Every structure is written in structure tokens, then in C-alpha cells.
Amino acid sequence: MLAFIGKFIKKPRNIFFTAILIIGLILIFSSLSKSSGNTIGGIAVARGTVEQIVNVTGKIKSADKINLAFDRSGKVTFIGAKVGDRVGAGRIIMKLDTSELDAQAMNASAGIQAAQARLDQVSKSARGEEVNLAQANLNNSLQLQVEAKKNVIDAMRSALDTAINSLVAFTDIQKEYFANSFSDSVVLMDMKEKVIYAIYGEHNLGRTDAWYFLALKGGLEGRLNGLGADAGDSTISQYVSESKSALLLVQDLLESALTYMSNLNSVTDADKTAVNSAKTGLLAQTSALNAQQQSIISANNAVSQARAQLSIKEVPGSLYDIQLAQSQLDQAKANLALIQAQIAKYYIRAPISGIITDVEGNVGEIAAPNKTAISILGNTPFYIEAFVPETDIVRIGVGDSANVILDAFGPDTLLFAKVTSINPAETVIEGVTTFKTRLQFVDKNQEILPGLTAEIDIIADKKDNVLYAPTRSITIRGSKRYIKLIRGEDGKTQETEVTVGLKGTDGRTEIVSGLNEGQIIAPR
């Protein structure tokens, strides 16, 4: 090969081409060196950004995630939300059967009225005509009590007829728009099946036609037809509770139907109006039923008070009698308060506004005590929880910015956050001392979910447009720092003392003094 090159160069015309080739290679190498900021054998001092980054891994957390449960068992009579629904604070989400407690509350309320009347009576004298008047008042109260029972029974039958008519109207809508197997249709079918079971006591009729279920005579519909005014207070209270639950189920069915109808272009205004009219009728029946139920309570209280007035004495009561009557009144009030407190425990209300993430159980099932029935995820923003090692914790502080990449979103989606708190107490994880650090996202993102893994770069410090040199090129002797520069074209080097600033995690160190931009640093 060397002999060939020697022969090639000895030829006069080839010497010219060889010279041109060597000059071209020198120019190309010189151009590449300048464009990359390097010189032959060294690196040029430049201006740029120096960053100190702390990299940690964290988890997305929700500030408010609440699991709700009953503290006692009971039959579920109402479920007012499903998974994915947004609810406001205070909304009733689930209810157990309270018919027995409602009857007890009615009785306790009557007891208060009786105790109050007793206290009034022992505090004054009574005359013969007052006894006759009290007897007449009792007779009248008993008659009004019978009428009140008849009225509430009529109100329940009217309410159930309206619920059935609304179910017929929905069935027409179902046949027209939701007779397929899409998810909306399946949800409405399940809700209709629950309504029919509440009214007729029959299962698996979510897609049946109106002519079929209208011929059924069982369930609440059949039992109401046999209910008379001689029924006891607890029986009537139970039937009122079942009737209200049926009305609520039909209302929820119509509300869901309207929501799904709004997603269909083929729905007519007339059909929407029909569903809205049915809803209005149900609300009116609910109000009427509540009013009649209250009338029974008033009638019972009136009877109790009339009985107490009939037992009036003609002589003033003694101080002992008055104190005894007062204590009986206080006890009656305490009894009612206790029953009302017990009734409140048969309801699950949303303690916060948020979205339902889990619903356990169905209407008619027995709820177990202390078992999560409803889970709610609050509307408060998500945050990131990370544990920063003790070697890095001194570098970061509250207010530092951070770049975040979620594994679920992939590396192309960059999110931004800020450090909002650092727990001063250490947390030891697998023998490593760390400090729990909380970061808040700068912008809201509806796709973020709790539990996602986050890769976090916390920008502990950052300086822009500063002179920097490679950290590896700095020599430390004692308290001083030195960098070796290339001086002149002969490649000789000279060591120069420098003052350094921020040491970045990207291999750069800020040069405060001692160097100028463009000087060439000798390789180490």
C-alpha cells in the first residue's frame, strides 16, 4: 500500500490532486470544530443555562377520597346515585328501611303533646264543663284520626297510579329509542326492572310491554288495595315508606331517560315533553303524600292531647305533680330526639361534593354494618406525593418548579407542578431516610387519576445566560478551583484560578470569574 502511495505522489499531475484533497479535509474539519463549539483538543467556554435537578418518583393522590358505610344492618330501600355520577354535599345517596323508627317517632311526638297537656292540666283547676268539653274534643279527634288514615291511604293509591302511568309513558319511550343492546338501553332496562319489582314484586321484567305489567296484581299494588283505615300506625308508616321509595325510583328512571334522550338526534320534542310532564306529576304526588303523612301525625297528636285533657282534675296539682309532669315532658322530648338521631343513621348523605366511584348493594338487599356501601372521590385537585432522600432534601424548597412525566401518559406529555410542602419529620423507607414532599399541578387535567406513577424533575436551582465549563475540567486544591486553558496555536496549556457558582446536575458548573467566553479549555 505504501509503495502504491509513493508511486502515486511521484507523478506530477497526482501531486496537484493530493494537495487539493489535503486542503479540503483541513477546511471541513475546521468547519465542524467551530460549529460544535470545540477546538482541536479542547472545549470552548460558552454561555448557557445551568440547572440543579433533583429526580424522584411519586404517586398521584386525591385530597378527598371517602368510603361511607352504615353502622347497622338493614334493608336498602333507596339508592340515589350510580358510579360516575357527580353529587353535591348533603345529597341522599342510600337509605335503609325506617318504617319502624318512623312509627316510633310518630308515637314519641304524640307523647310530647300528651306530656305538655298533662303539665298544663296539673298547673290549673278544672271545672265540670271543661271535662265535658274535653270528652267532646276527644271524640272529634278520634273521628279526624280515622279520616286522616283514609286520606293517606287514598294518597298512596293515587301516588302509585301516577307512578304506574309514568312507567307506561317510559315504556313507550323505551320501545321507541332504547330497544337495542347499547349500554344506555341496558342501564334503563335495569332501572325499569327495579321499579316493577318495587310496585308489583316481580323480577326480570325490564323489557316487558305495558299491557303485561298492568295486569299484575301482586306486590305493593295488591297490598294497598287491601289496606283499610283500621290498620295500625306502624303498618301505614311502612306502606308510606314503600310508596315513597317507588316514586323515587320512577323519578330516577325518568331523569336518566331524559339524560340519554338528549344524546339522540331522533328524539322528538313531544316525547321529551311527555317525560317531563310525568316527572312533574310524580313530584306533585310526593308532596301530596308527605302532606297526608303529616296529617296523620297531627291527628295522632290531637288524640293524645285530647285524652290527656279528659283526665283533667278539678283541684290544682301539687308542686310534686307539676315537677313530675315537667320531667315527663323532658323525657318525651329526649325520646323523640333519640329516635330522630337513630333515623339519621339509616341515611347515607354525601359529606362532600364529588364523583361516585363505587356503589355496593341493590334495592331490596340487606346492607351489612361497617361495610363500605358508597365511595366518593372529592372535587379537590389531585397532588403528587414523593419521598425525597436526605441527600437531596436540602437542595429543594417550597415553591420550586418541577417537570412531571406520568408513566400512563408516556414521555411525550410533560406536566408542570410546584412544591407546596415538605414534611419536617423523616420517613424511613427500606433503610433510607426520606422526607415526604407534596407537589401541586400548575394546570388542571381531567385525565389524571389517583394512583398513577410520576417521574419528577424538581428544579432546585437554575441560572440562565451564565458562563459555564464542564464540571470534570475543574481541579480542586484546597479551597481554590483551577481550569487548564490552551494558550496560542502551539497547544501549550496554562492553569487559571476561577471562581465557581452553581454546580449543575447536567455536568455544567457556573463560572463567576476567571474565564471569558470563547477561551479554550484543555481536556483532562
What angle do the packed helices 183-200 and 233-261 form, to 10 degrees? 160
State the first-to-last Cα distance of the chain, in angstroms, to the nearest integer: 36
Report the pLDDT value the prediction gives residue 316, as an integer from 0 to 100: 53
- Contact predicate 73/461, CB 8 Å: no
Report the pLDDT value the prediction gives residue 24, as an integer from 0 to 100: 52
Report the pLDDT value the prediction gives residue 430, as an integer from 0 to 100: 87
Report the pLDDT value the prediction gives residue 26, as an integer from 0 to 100: 43
Report the pLDDT value the prediction gives residue 35, as an integer from 0 to 100: 37
- Contact predicate 88/380, CB 8 Å: no
68-94+346-373: CATH topology: OB fold (Dihydrolipoamide Acetyltransferase, E2P) (2.40.50)
Q: Where in the chain is the domain with CATH 2.40.30.170?
A: 37-63+381-524
Pairwise CA distance, residues 280 & 298, whole Å: 27
Residues contacting 303, CB < 8 A, separation 6+: 110, 138, 141, 142, 145
CATH classification code of 37-63+381-524: 2.40.30.170
Report the pLDDT value the prediction gives residue 230, as an integer from 0 to 100: 84
Residue with cell 321484567: 205
**Angle formed at CA 361 by CA 80 and CA 364, multiple of 5 degrees:** 80
What confidence tens digit (pLDDT) does each residue in 256-300 have?
999 999 889 999 999 999 999 999 999 999 999 999 889 888 988
* Chain CA centroid to CA 283, Å: 28
Helix (H, G, I), strand (E, B) or coil at 267: coil
Q: Where in the chain is the domain with CATH 2.40.50.100?
A: 68-94+346-373
0.75 exceeded by the pTM? no
What are the angstrom distances between the C-alpha of 299 and each of 64, 110, 227, 229? 46, 9, 19, 13
What confidence tens digit (pLDDT) does each residue in 67-108 have?
899 998 999 999 988 898 888 888 899 999 998 889 999 999
- Contact predicate 369/70, CB 8 Å: yes
**pLDDT per residue of the chain (524 residues) written in tens, 0 to 9:** 434 444 444 444 555 555 555 555 444 444 434 333 444 458 888 898 988 889 999 998 876 778 899 998 999 999 988 898 888 888 899 999 998 889 999 999 999 999 888 888 777 654 556 667 777 888 888 888 888 888 989 999 999 999 999 999 999 999 999 999 999 999 999 999 999 999 999 999 999 999 999 999 988 888 888 888 788 888 888 989 999 999 999 999 999 999 999 889 999 999 999 999 999 999 999 999 999 889 888 988 988 888 887 775 444 556 677 788 889 899 999 999 999 898 999 999 988 888 888 999 899 999 899 999 898 887 777 788 999 999 889 888 888 999 999 998 888 889 898 998 999 999 998 889 999 998 888 887 767 778 889 999 998 888 899 899 898 889 998 888 989 888 877 778 888 899 988 888 878 999 988 888 888 898 87
Provide, for the chain, the percentages of residues in helix, strand and coil under a 3-state DSSP scheme, each rounded to the nearest 5. Answer: 45, 30, 25
